[in-house]
Amino acid sequence: MELIITEKDNAARRIADILSGGTYDSSRENGVNVYEWGGKRCVGLSGHVVGVDFPAEYSDWRDVEPVELIDANIEKTATKENIVATLRILSRRAERVAIATDYDREGELIGKEAYDIVREVDEDVPIRRVRFSSITENEVQNAFDEPDELDFDLAAAGEARQIIDLIWGAALTRFLSLSAGQLGNDFISVGRVQSPTLKLIVDREREIQAFDPETYWELFADLVKDETSFEAQYFYRDEDDNEAERVWAEARADEVYETLSGRDAATVVDVNRRTRTDAPPAPFNTTQFIRAASAIGYSAKRAMSIAEDLYTAGYITYPRTDNTVYPDDLDPEELLEEFVGHSTLGESADSLLEADEIRPTEGDEETTDHPPIHPTGEIPSRGGDVSDDEWEIYELVVRRFYATVADPAEWEHLKVVAEVDDARLKANGKRLVEPGYHDVYPYFNTTENYVPDVETGEELSIEGVGLEEKETQPPRRYGQSRLIETMEDLGLGTKSTRHNTLEKLYDRGYIESDPPRPTKLAMAVVDAAESYADRVVSEGMTAQLEADMDAIASGEADLEDVTDESREMLEEIFANLADSREEIGDHLRKSLKDDKRLGPCPECGEDLLVRQSRHGSYFIGCDGYPDCENTLPLPSTGKPLIMDGECEEHGLNEVKMLAGRQTFVHGCPLCKADEAGEGEILGDCPDCGEGATSPTSRGEGGETAEADGELVIKTLQSGSRLVGCTRYPDCEYSLPLPRRGEIEVTDEHCEEHELPELVVHSGDEPWELGCPICNYQEFQAREADSGSDLESLDGVGAKTVEKLVDAGIESLEDLSDADPDAVADDVDGVSADRVRSWQAKA
């Protein structure tokens, strides 16, 4: 029997389908899917099934000094015991083994972990390595026809990263967390790549905070030729002889304005025409793919998660690559022909195939491991094989390939300079003459600016003059894609890890919003590191370690030398930290409180702080507790973020609830508490009102109790709204209402329930909610049809449910009982912290 080992279950299923011609049988062994056909068995791992960790005696943070971790022994232990057990069982029956994990540093290490497990069972069984860049029939078949050997140097580089990241992260995380007294789920996280990346974000925020705006003025005039108006802007030559538009002296701006306003016409003194070639873009590497996906609304993490799914399904090539040069064996014409006749992509493919010669563009980076990201020629059906989001990313990849084999575009530029006394005006027009690649890649801006054709000496009427006072703006925050590009430029992390580093910063509460903005805790951690251990946030140190790991991969260094060098660096850092523990702790504790402070408690004057209950829910409590027990509720949806804006009435910062696409501004918690109460009566309560027949309206002996319950619109202190019974808490009948928007009670009534129909006014279009009982019944029916109660959690959509079910979590009960770290390991794109938040809500 031949045993084939892949990195994940979905890859195992796909490869089994290809190699068996769709005839495989599947079974379960220790809860693991095994695919079998013709003397072969294929099993998928779940990424790393073996991890590195310290021995058990180092696990108690309070009993072990963080510095002791630097030289502690490191053990390898099974992190997915059921998969490891299954692999051992299958290895005993195997006559040969093929390792088919992803072909990159991480995939090679995962393959080496599987290799070691097999070798523990059988020292002699032949083990071969198969590599492919797309899970398509031809490439998989070719890979198995031409197997290779495991690259032990590449795997060692991945193992060195694991060990170094463990030592650095654990030692520094424990030191800062213990210094600040911040343990449990809210520990202060530090990482070898994470911390320099955080410093990039913090440094940009410091620039923004320190920015001192300057006032300047710009002047515009509308020029007219043949009743056609176009805008021109005043400019002058600065001391470096560059064209400048900003006027820094108000007196000069007023002088120019008077000059332009006092004339009826301007004379054309210069006309410049030129044609510019707009070259097609280079093929996608990982960083440029993330950048392009960001431009159409996808976060780095989401884009990579979708790309990995498309790769596993065989629709695109491996999405983790630095390469920007297509391999010689890629035939662009043959690949284009696969799309001919497709309803969405076929027309563009047809037009490209009409070219006399098809020659792809090339980028600056050429590697030999994986090609640039491109389609394989297997086309999914939208709404069938892939979701709408997956189709958008797939089409982006296809159209980028189209762009790389398309013609350049051509722009015609026309610059007109007109003069009024000593004041000059310029108008820049541009027109797309030849669309070229823009016809097949509609993601770049092709906006044209019309300027009429004029001649030198021509008089143009002045129709209007404008003077605008402006201020210089601070530098913009890094967007996710720009941050990943900067990390790449500085050598921070790898193509496989950069987007995950950002996600860790979000999960740990160091950054919020998009573009990422650092919290006060992030500012404090970077401040402390710079003051007492600058190398922790130094990109130079991290980049050097990355270079060392590359040297391991190429056989120029060994794992032990590189990890020893890293330990020495860390020992030097701890030597500087040792005498500053108390100062660092005070600094971090103050910043932790600053991140949670809303303002003064109205009852005692102490600070009101955002707090979290042991069940995971958030509320506002007084820092004077237990002397002051004043609390205010917060919505159950989302994680609270304290905003800069203050309530004029109460002096408290407003609160935003971060909940993915359902993020909303809660506002001032005291205002929400003041707004709480009952509104308009809608009608009788169906459980205890007049004519009610349910058990809640009857006495102990079955006799009918007093039936006087009525339904009213209620606003709770948490900001939630509902239709509830006036006899609460004796009657708990309630129906949910939208949190936002003005609720209008109409004159139309539901014939079945005799309640008025409701309309919610929020946004451009009113939402006709209708009868609140009918509306809720329809909602319950939809939930029942969805087949899973997991989708009732905020942030859990159908695709995530599918991944959770694949990991054995089919209900809220399963989720509540699960180990968050194990779920995070099994489910792509889901962190352990996010699982914990779902568990709290569940």
Which residue, 19, 73, 67, 122, is CA-closest to 533? Answer: 67
Run of H or E residues at 841? helix 832-841
Distance CA 419, CA 267 (A): 5
Distance CA 192, CA 245 (A): 45
DSSP string, 114-160: HHHHHHHH-SSS-EEE---SS--HHHHHHHHHS-B---HHHHHHHHH
Which residue, 45, 46, 31, is CA-closest to 3? Answer: 45
Q: Collapsing DSSP states into helix, strand and coil, what is residue 751?
A: coil
Distance CA 597, CA 513 (A): 19
Distance CA 404, CA 326 (A): 10
Q: Collapsing DSSP states into helix, strand and coil, what is residue 221?
A: strand
Q: Does residue 319 contact residue 499 with C-beta atoms inside 8 Å?
A: no
**What are the angstrom distances between the C-alpha of 554 and each of 44, 104, 128?**
28, 13, 20
Phi-psi region of 566 (alpha: psi -120 to 50; beta: other; left: phi over 0): alpha
Strand partners, 639: 658
Q: Does residue 594 contact residue 588 with C-beta atoms inside 8 Å?
A: no
Is 450 one of the catalytic residues? no
**Strand 2-6 and strand 40-44: pairing?**
parallel
Cis preceding linkage at 729, omega within 30 = yes
Percent of the chain as helix, strand, coil, to the nearest 5: 40, 25, 35
Q: Does residue 481 contact residue 515 with C-beta atoms inside 8 Å?
A: no
Run of H or E residues at 670? helix 669-675
- Where in 650-740 does DSSP place strands (E)? 653-658, 664-667, 677-684, 710-715, 721-725, 734-737
Distance CA 179, CA 181 (A): 6
Q: Does residue 441 contact residue 435 with C-beta atoms inside 8 Å?
A: no
Which residue, 573, 566, 570, is CA-closest to 547? Answer: 566
Active-site annotation holder among 103, 234, 315, 318: 318
Dihedral sign (CA 536, 590, 660, 9): positive
Token pair 């190699």 in the structure block, residue: 19
The amino acid at residue 381 is: S
Active-site residues: which are they?
A: 318
